[in-house]
Amino acid sequence: MTSKRERVFGGKITAPVTLFGDVDTVSAPNTVAIAHIQLPAQQPRRYFDPQKMEQLVLSVKEHGILEPLLVRTLEKPDTYELVAGERRYRAAKAAGLTDVPAVVRDLTDEQAVHLALIENLQREDLNPVEETEGVLQLLALKLKMAVSEVPKLLYRMQHEAKGKVAHNVMGSSEDEAVQAVFAALATMSWESFVNNRLPLLNLPNDVLEALQQGRIAYTKAQAIARVKDEDQRQDLLKEAIAQDFSLAQIKERVDSLKSKAVAVTDPPPLKSQIDDALKLVKRSKVWDDPKKQKKLEKVLADLRSLVSDDI
């Protein structure tokens, strides 16, 4: 399982209002019919651990919803959109509740998405992939650009910071916006996010799925992804999860698989091997050793005898 220190953020986000302006979410909860609440088109999280959901459903059946949902009003009367609390919402439906406590707010689309992201990024059970995607969505909102464009901007910033390319991003309004988001989220810089988190989105599908389901830590997932052979990678992934391999054990297995792959690789053409052998002989000190010279003379005689009939 992913430890807390492997999360993007080690603590609560305490200053979300600095990103998009003040949003007063403090209000007495109302009782809202669950049938009148609809899910938004895009949610920051998509995976819910089945066992944890089952436990939550049992808790809701026994104690009800202890923490109100956050919803916003829609144009259609008596209709609401869920902003935060999807696990509680799903558990309430599974438990057969007809009404749930909810804080009702008037929020713009931007404010609603922002609060949903912040609420989810504060949660302990959000997996690293969802965290990474959530941060990208938050940056996209702040930068007013498509989510798909955010990684490109971050990589341009990285290249410029390393002196590789002059993109003129550093010091710009885009740079200031990125800095503001990470300052508000705290505990991780944008450089660390680019180096350690963006690569997670390019993991092989089997490794990515295990990571999304919280079955393996992201550092272990990255190590397993180094195995290019799909069958070998899947076998290692299953074994690493079943036996709870340490990162060191996984790296050792990966290195072993790579060594075996090199060993079974087809040797270079014979002509290339002979050319290489001649180069080694010319560079060696065989000329200074009479015994080695005699052996070399015998090898040359055998070689001449072998090829004489074909000339």
The answer to whether residue 149 is domain-embedded is yes
Whether residue 101 sits in one domain with residue 62: yes
Last residue of a domain, one of 199, 227, 250: 199
Whether residue 281 sits in one domain with residue 246: no
Whether residue 98 sits in one domain with residue 47: yes
The answer to whether residue 2 is domain-embedded is no
> What is the 3-state secondary structure of 45-72?
CCCCCHHHHHHHHHHHHHHCCCCCEEEE
Comparing 1-5, 230-234, 292-296, which segment has the lowest mean pLDDT?
Answer: 1-5
Please determine, for residue 11, whether its predicted confidence score (pLDDT) is greater than 60.
no
Mean pLDDT of 36-61: 82
Please determine, for residue 229, whether its predicted confidence score (pLDDT) is greater than 60.
yes
The answer to whether residue 168 is domain-embedded is yes
The answer to whether residue 11 is domain-embedded is no
**100 neighbors 32 (Cβ within 8 angstroms):** yes
Please determine, for residue 1, whether its predicted confidence score (pLDDT) is greater than 50.
no
The answer to whether residue 113 is domain-embedded is no
The answer to whether residue 148 is domain-embedded is yes
Provide the domain count of the chain: 4
Last residue of a domain, one of 44, 72, 106: 106
Whether residue 193 sits in one domain with residue 143: yes
- DSSP H stretches of helix in the chain: 17-20, 50-63, 86-94, 109-121, 128-143, 150-161, 173-185, 190-196, 205-212, 218-224, 230-242, 247-263, 270-283, 290-307
**Rounded to whole angstroms, how far apart are CA atoms 65 and 254?**
46
The answer to whether residue 114 is domain-embedded is no
The answer to whether residue 212 is domain-embedded is no
Where residue 291 falls among pLDDT bands split at 50, 70, 90? confident
Comparing 141-145, 209-213, 277-281, which segment has the lowest mean pLDDT?
Answer: 277-281
Tokens encoding 80: 């609401």
Domain that holds residue 295: 270-304
Whether residue 228 sits in one domain with residue 159: no
**Looking at residue 41, which CATH number applies to its domain?**
3.90.1530.30
Q: What pLDDT is stored for residue 42 in this prediction?
A: 67
Whether residue 256 sits in one domain with residue 274: no
Whether residue 69 sits in one domain with residue 137: no
Quick one: which H or E segment has residue 32? strand 30-33
